[in-house]
Amino acid sequence: MADQLIRLTNAENNASGLVLFTKKVASSKGLKVEFDFYMYGGTGGDGISFMLLDASKGIPSGPGGLGGSLGYANRFEEPGIKGGYLGVGFDTFGNWSNPRPKNELPRRKRTGYQNQKRAS
């Protein structure tokens, strides 16, 4: 997908988008990914996430939860992304004081939210 531009969403509320690279990649060989992203116009969104998905779970029909879930995690009754294995979020909205989904593991510096789970 080198040198291609993709618009995931327009500047509107409750919008989400999803782009999938559907070619399977063997994890034993490692993975190098580079991309640039831009968010502008309107009042801004919550952010964007990059994810690795488990191909054995099938191709997802759409993203996970909207808003702070960044299309990866669940959001209330909205399920998370199908086959989610690893998600890296770029959260630009900063509404960290909102209640967190039960299975989220945030890694942030000095916010009002105290993380009760730790990765080991």
- pLDDT, tens digit only, all 120 positions of the chain: 567 888 888 877 778 888 888 888 887 878 888 888 888 777 767 888 999 998 889 888 889 888 888 888 888 888 889 999 888 888 887 765 566 655 555 554 444 444 444 444
Contact by Cβ (8 Å): 18, 60:
yes
Q: What is the pLDDT of residue 116?
A: 43
Residue 52, beta-bridge partner list: 86
Of 83, 70, 89, 80, the C-alpha closest to 24 is: 83
**Model confidence, pTM:** 0.67
DSSP structural state of residue 57: G
HSE-CB for 56 with a 13 A CA cutoff: 2
What values do phi and psi take at 109, rounded to 5?
Answer: -100, 145
Distance, CA of 71 to CA of 74 (rounded, Å): 8
Q: Which residue has the tokens 């759409």?
A: 62
Q: What is the pLDDT of residue 102?
A: 57
pLDDT in tens, 94-114: 765 566 655 555 554 444 444
